[in-house]
Structure 1
């Protein structure tokens, strides 16, 4: 079954935004790659900003579902899931198509905090930290938000390190540091 024009446009935009950057990708290139035209693009997305927000929201949804499934398939206990996060991130960093985190990249292109693109990017990491915090709380950690922030910083750092220098081993180093942090927080809980 052929994809609907809206879906084709969103897929084309997603590929181009991720590979070339948001600001350097024009709507004409998106329409062309989608096998469409600008009039149809604007019918579904009244502005490029609307298309960027739709791209980020779709990326958030797809990544979150994939990520949680991957973590859950590797570990059953909350503590093991906290460490599995780094295994999943490490595998993602190794795929040839990896171009960094779409949300970090978008926030860098739209650095003003009040910009909707920046806000959607920040929401992604707020949700990511909340996921980690929930796992930490299930472990009985006294300050789960603190551990969540620390582990999130390790993940974000590994992503940027890998984006800057491929095959850097950043995810392995981040997992090692995460293990130390988790154990420290667990010992404080007892």
Structure 2
């Protein structure tokens, strides 16, 4: 990947997270990146393509980070499921935390036919699927339901923390998750 393409992605990512996707024009992106529209469009044919690339990158980076965190511990699958919320809390406490891009993007592009909305929906589905695989490995009685419940807690906590830093939403979500996980793992 060229250094300029990388810079445009980084600038667009930061601006989309801090100002909003629809509020950030191509003129602003190229000005902050120190490039031209022609160069931006050489690397990303449309602003929509740039948005999609930013979303894909954030999703992959978060997934890689979480997988690495969960893999670092030699915990049993049920302990790994419990540890999930420790890592989510750590991520949300980081100064650079700005929420989950697919949540923001789906709100800014509510039309279900829009490619940005479709990708956001797919990323939310993949996240639930990831949680479902953790739940299944841990032996949850209904992994899909537990995954949906956990994703709702995580996404809700992220939105609450985005709206008010230091809200304590992650701690409350973790407490609720423990109850749900323990209930799902009872045999």
| TM over 0.5, shorter chain | yes
Q: Distance in 2 between matches of 1:73 and 1:183?
A: 23
| Structure 2 counterpart of 1:126 | 125
For residues 11-160 of structure 1, what are the structure 2 equivalents within 5 Å? 11-74=10-73, 76-160=75-159
Q: Distance in 2 between matches of 1:56 and 1:174?
A: 25
Q: Distance in 2 between matches of 1:110 and 1:63?
A: 21
Structure 1 alignment gaps of length 5 or more: none
175-184 or 76-85, which deviates more:
76-85
Q: Does the 8 Å CA contact 1:22/1:106 hold for their aligned counterparts?
A: yes
Q: Distance in 2 between matches of 1:74 and 1:19?
A: 33
Could you report, residue by residue, the CA deviation over 1:39-88 in whole angstroms, capped at 9, with x for unpaired residues? 10011111100100011011111111011112222452211121222111
SS at match of 1:51: helix
Q: Distance in 1 between matches of 2:74 and 2:97?
A: 24
Q: Distance in 2 between matches of 1:6 and 1:137?
A: 39
37-46 or 122-131, which deviates more:
122-131
Could you report, residue by residue, the CA deviation over 1:104-132 in whole angstroms, capped at 9, with x for unpaired residues? 11111111122111111112221111111
**What's the C-alpha RMSD, in Å, of the aligned pairs?**
1.5
| Structure 1 counterpart of 2:5 | 6
Q: Distance in 2 between matches of 1:4 and 1:13?
A: 14
Runs of 4+ in 1 over 3 A off after TM superposition: none
Q: Does the 8 Å CA contact 1:74/1:84 hold for their aligned counterparts?
A: no
SS at match of 2:112: coil
Q: Does the 8 Å CA contact 1:45/1:51 hold for their aligned counterparts?
A: yes
How many residue pairs end up in the alignment? 187
Structure 2 alignment gaps of length 5 or more: none
Could you report, residue by residue, the CA deviation over 1:135-157 in whole angstroms, capped at 9, with x for unpaired residues? 11112222110100011111011
